[in-house]
């Protein structure tokens, strides 16, 4: 019985591909550094759309945030030709606000100058 299991295991090793297959419904985008102008575009859209919900209680805030984030994805692809997932952009937004406050201040300063 041990011999048959060993034979089965060796035959399975040959058939298995070395890379796991990813689901077709979920795309994977390779993470890369975000340029300053891309971050500027992202922050501009998120601020104008009140992504954080500072200006009022909203019905279905998660659906609202998903729609706003898909606008950001489309805008970055259209203007800069980069494809980023919503999850990558959510994480980048969080990192900007919490960990990289100097960068966030620089972006806000540029946006203020752009508006005036």
CA gap 36, 13 in Å, rounded: 46
Q: Is residue 43 part of a domain?
A: yes
pLDDT band (50, 70, 90) for residue 25: low
pLDDT digits (tens, 9 = 90+) for 38-59: 999 999 999 999 999 999 899 9
CA neighbours closer than 13 Å in the CB half-sphere of residue 95: 10
Does 35 score more than 50 pLDDT? yes
Q: Is residue 39 part of a domain?
A: yes
Are 52 and 116 in contact by the 8 Å Cβ rule? The answer is no
Q: Which domain holds residue 70?
A: 32-115
CA gap 116, 114 in Å, rounded: 6
In terms of pLDDT, which residue wins out, 115 or 6? 115
Q: Is residue 23 part of a domain?
A: no
Calculate mean pLDDT across residues 86-107.
Answer: 96
CA gap 113, 98 in Å, rounded: 23
Are 37 and 80 in contact by the 8 Å Cβ rule? The answer is yes
pLDDT digits (tens, 9 = 90+) for 56-78: 899 999 999 999 999 999 999 99
**How many domains, the chain?**
1
């Amino acid at each position: 019985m041990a011999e048959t299991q060993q034979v089965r295991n060796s035959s399975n090793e040959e058939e298995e591909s070395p890379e796991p297959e990813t689901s077709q419904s979920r795309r994977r985008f390779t993470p890369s550094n975000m340029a300053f102008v891309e971050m500027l575009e992202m922050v501009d859209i998120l601020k104008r759309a009140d992504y954080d919900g500072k200006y009022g209680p909203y019905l279905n805030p998660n659906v609202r945030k998903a729609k706003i984030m898909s606008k950001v994805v489309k805008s970055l692809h259209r203007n800069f030709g980069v494809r980023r997932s919503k999850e990558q952009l959510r994480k980048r937004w969080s990192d900007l606000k919490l960990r990289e406050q100097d960068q966030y201040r620089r972006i806000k300063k540029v946006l203020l100058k752009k508006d005036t």
